[in-house]
Structure 1
Amino acid sequence: MQIGFIGTGKMGLPMARHLAAAGHEVTGFDLAPAVLDAARQAGLKTADSMAEASRGKDVVFSSLPHDAAFEAVGGQVAELAAPGTLYIDTSTVSPQASARVAAALAQRGVRYLRVTVSGNNKMAEAAQLTALVSGPADAYEQAKPLLAALGPVQFYLGDAEQARLMKLVVNLMIGLTSGMLAEALTLGAKGGLKWQDMWSVITASAVAAPIVKAKSVQLVEHDYTPTFTVDQMLKDVGLILDAGADLRVPLSLTALLGQMLQGAAAQGMAGDDYAAVIKAARVGAGLRGLE
Structure 2
Amino acid sequence: MKVGFIGLGSVGGKLAGSLLRNDTDLTVFDLDAGRVADFVARGAGRADSPAALMRACDTVITCLPNPAASDAVLAQMLPEIGPGKTWIEMSTTDADLIQRQAAQVAERGGAAAECPVSGGCHRADTGNISILVSGDRATFDHVFPLMQKLGRRILHTGPFGTASKLKVMTNYLATAHLLTLCEALTVMAAEGIDLATTYEAIKLSSGNSFVHETESQLILSGSRDVNFTMDLVQKDIGLFQKLADARGVPLEISPLMIAMMSDGQKRYGDRAQSDRMIERLEEATGLSVTAPGFPMELVDDEPEEPGYEVVVRR
Q: TM-score, normalised by structure 2?
A: 0.86
Aligned sequence identity (%): 27
Cross-structure match for 2:60: 60
On the 8 A contact 2:225/2:275 being kept in 1, the answer is: no
Equivalent AA in structure 2 for residue 91 of structure 1: S
Where does residue 118 of structure 2 map in the other structure? 118
Please say if residues 234 and 258 of structure 1, whose CA atoms lie closer than 8 Å, have aligned partners that are also in contact.
yes
Q: Letter of the 1:25 partner, please give it.
A: D
Q: In 2, are the aligned partners of 1:114 and 1:135 still within 8 Å (CA)?
A: yes
Map 1:232-243 onto structure 2 (within 5 A).
232-243=232-243
TM-superposed deviation, 1:270 = 4.1
Aligned-partner Cα distance in 1 for 2:69–2:149: 25
Partner of 1:139: 139
Change (3 A) 1:255 1:41: farther
CA distance in 2, matches of 1:174, 1:71: 26
How far apart are 1:269 and its partner, in Å? 5.4
Q: Deviations over 1:161-195 (max 9, x none)?
A: 11111101110110100111122222233333343
Post-superposition offset of 1:280: 1.3
In the TM superposition, residue 59 of structure 1 has moved relative to its aligned partner by 0.9
Distance 1:24 1:185, change over 3 A: closer
Following superposition of structure 1 onto structure 2, how do residues 216-231 of structure 1 map, counting pairs within 5 Å? 216-231=216-231
**Worse-matched range after superposition: 59-68 or 177-186:** 177-186
Separation in 2, partners of 1:92, 1:205: 31
Structure 1 Cα separation of the partners of residues 59 and 66 of structure 2: 21
Mapped contact 2:219–2:289 kept (Cα < 8 A):
no
Does residue 206 of the first structure (1) align with residue 198 of the second (2)?
no
Q: Which amino acid aligns with 1:243?
A: L
Alpha-carbon displacement from aligned partner over 1:243-291 (angstroms, at most 9, x marks no partner): 221222233212211111122222225444312222212323x224446
Gap change, CA 1:290 and 1:139, over 3 Å in 2: closer
- Alpha-carbon distance in 1 for matches of 2:288, 2:170: 33
Deviations 1:110-166, CA, capped at 9 Å, x for gaps: 211000111222211111111100001101001111100012210001122111111
For 1:220 and 1:20, how far apart are their aligned partners in 2? 34
- Compare 90-99 and 41-50 and name the one that shifted more: 41-50
3-state SS of the aligned residue for 1:244?
helix
Matched, 1:71 2:102: no
Q: Map residues 1-291 of structure 1 onto 2, 5 A cutoff.
A: 1-268=1-268, 270-284=270-284, 286-290=285-289
Secondary structure of the residue aligned to 2:117 is strand
The aligned amino acid for 1:287 is: G
Work out the CA distance in 1 between the residues paired with 2:181 and 2:17: 35
Aligned-residue CA RMSD (Å)? 1.9
Quote how far apart the aligned CAs of 1:62 are.
Answer: 0.6
65-74 or 80-89: which moved more? 80-89
- Aligned mates of 2:268, 2:42 — CA distance in 1: 32
After superposition, what is the alpha-carbon deviation per residue over 1:201-236, rounded to whole angstroms, capped at 9, x for unaligned?
222322122321122322222320232112221121
2:297 aligned residue: none
Which letter does structure 2 place at the counterpart of 1:280? R
Moved more, 189-198 or 74-83: 189-198
For residue 137 of structure 2, what is the amino acid of its counterpart? A
Aligned-partner residue type, residue 43 of structure 1: G
Whole-angstrom CA distance in 2 between matches of 1:124 and 1:86: 22
Distance in 2 separating the partners of 1:281 and 1:256: 16
What amino acid does structure 1 have at the position aligned with 2:166? M
Conservation of the 8 A alpha-carbon contact between 1:133 and 1:154: yes
CA contact 1:56–1:82 (8 Å) conserved in 2: no
Q: CA 1:209 to 1:77, structure 2 compared with 1: closer, same or farther past 3 Å?
A: same
Decide whether the 8 Å contact of 1:231 with 1:270 is kept in 2. Answer: yes
8 Å contact from structure 1 (residues 4, 60) kept in 2: yes
Q: Is the 8 A contact 2:190 2:287 kept in 1?
A: no
Distance 1:234 1:287 in 2: 27
Deviation string, structure 1 residues 78-100 (Cα, Å, up to 9, x no partner): 22223231110100011122122
Report 1 or 2 for greater relative contact order, CA contacts < 8 Å, sequence distance ≥ 6: 2
Q: How many angstroms apart in 1 are the aligned matches of 2:27 and 2:184?
A: 47
